[in-house]
Amino acid sequence: MINTSDQASSSASATATTSTIRQPTVISSPLEALQNIVQRKVSGRLTIREADAETVLWRIHTGDGHIHFASCSHGQRERLAYILQRNEPQLAKRLRVETISSDYEFLCQSWQAGILTLPQLRKLLYLLTREALIHIMALPQATLLFERSTGLDPILLSVPLQEALPLSYQVRGWQQLKPHISSPFQRPHLLAREQFARRLEGKLRLARGPDAAQTPLQALDAQLCIYEIASKLDADLLRVASALRDLVQADIIKMEPFTQSNQSQQLTIACIDDSLTIQRKVRLMLEGEGYRVLSLTNPLQALMPLMREKPAVVLMDISMPDLDGYELCRMLKQSSALRQTPIVMLTGRDGLVDRSRARLVGASDYITKPFDAKTLLDVISKLVQTTR
């Protein structure tokens, strides 16, 4: 467990109780503030942001003197994929985390669907919580806000703070990486390819595990965040980050924010089709071109994920059980949140009547199965350009 004496003493934390952090407050020891909340047995959510960084938010859910969960405001898919890869590789193969928007919700749904047992669920929630606390405790200065609402439903984890705290060497390791690396969500950008290959790629090669899916150079070329690189290399996150710090110091790479690649450049394409074969095909065609694919196999449950994710384009099969594509397209066009979203019909029928009917319900285009990657990419590119 972490030794609280290892943490920097705080000038404000002793007084930063729940009565003084209902508004954003800058503090030098998140641990002391958290201990204060736990000792008072206050239920709520503590939001923590590094004082000089606007993008990374961490949240700790507390209640009755215990920790219920800790996570981040973004990058939950990348972080969960890393935790699974390092701790439960067999589960990682069964759980599809590519399209999640909430790690907690995703894991609860996987448990409710019988994919996870309750002990497995609680173990993963605990691992996510403990890993989040590493980065929270490593912050040199943080802005805190406490809200008297846990925001969790259902509550499935309740552990004493001392059991959730990480080991001190993990916290110190991340503290020592600053200012070169401030967050595991940062994305390294390669500046000097020849120098990397000649001098320092070996540092990352040494960090690779036996089940690495990529070489270090491939991982850097893909503009992944550090969580993703560690997953691809089957390596410990801190060890990868330490190797990257050496590359930063040698001016071989520079660190860029998570949002620059993830939010500004990557577009989401939704695919609504009950065929897993089509889903896999679309994913293979689009992910290699930099798109994120939201796979939905049940048309009756598609509306809420679409409204939440706001995809750039929706691909939709016409012939689906329970609700055909024509009716679903009509419904989406009646939604104020989705009526401007381009919809492309996918079908094995290529008759004039079918095309006309698709246009009548609001479809923007029509692709006949089987289709190749060029056809799909050309249609999506055209629609994305016209809606920007």
Residue 261 has pLDDT above 80, yes or no: no
pLDDT in tens, 147-175: 777 678 899 999 999 999 988 999 999 99
Residue 85: exposed, middle, or buried by beta-carbon count in 10 A (0-12, 13-18, 19+)?
buried
d(CA 57, CA 48): 6
Instruction: Find the angle CA(70)-CA(66)-CA(1) to the nearest 5 degrees.
Output: 75
Q: What is the pLDDT of residue 122?
A: 97
Judged by average pLDDT, the poorest of 16-25, 110-119, 120-129 is 16-25
Instruction: Find the angle CA(241)-CA(91)-CA(300) to the nearest 5 degrees.
Output: 110
Buried/exposed code over 15-26 (b: 16+ C-beta within 10 A; e: otherwise): ebbbeebeeebe
Instruction: Find the angle CA(122)-CA(125)-CA(128) to the nearest 5 degrees.
Output: 150
Give the list of residues 6+ apart from residue 43 with CB closer than 8 angstroms, or none: 62, 63, 64, 148, 150
Whether 321 contacts 286, CB under 8 Å = no
Q: What is the pLDDT of residue 259?
A: 63
Tokens of 76: 């939950």
Give all strands (DSSP E) within 64-186, no chain letters: 66-72, 142-147, 159-160
pTM, entire model: 0.62
Q: What is the pLDDT of residue 7?
A: 34
Tell me which range, 128-132, 330-334, 369-373, is most confidently predicted by mean pLDDT.
128-132
Query: What is the rounded average pLDDT of the residues 258-278?
Result: 75
pLDDT, greater one: 319 or 13 = 319
In angstroms and rounded to an integer, the radius of gyration of the C-alpha atoms of the chain is: 23
By C-alpha distance, which of 287, 372, 360, 358 is closest to 319? 358
Mean pLDDT of the chain: 83
d(CA 102, CA 77): 8
Q: What is the pLDDT of residue 10?
A: 36
Neighbouring CB atoms inside 10 A of 77's CB total 20
Q: What is the pLDDT of residue 379?
A: 94
Strand, helix or coil for residue 114: coil
Domain segments of the chain as ranges: 4-177, 187-262, 268-382
Buried/exposed code over 199-238 (b: 16+ C-beta within 10 A; e: otherwise): ebbebbeebbeeebebebeebbeebbbbbbbbbbbbbebb
Give the list of residues 6+ apart from residue 18 with CB closer than 8 angstroms, or none: 36, 37, 40, 42, 44, 146, 148
Residue 117 has pLDDT above 80, yes or no: yes
Q: Under CATH, domain 268-382 is a member of which superfamily?
A: Response regulator (3.40.50.2300)
Q: What is the pLDDT of residue 323?
A: 87
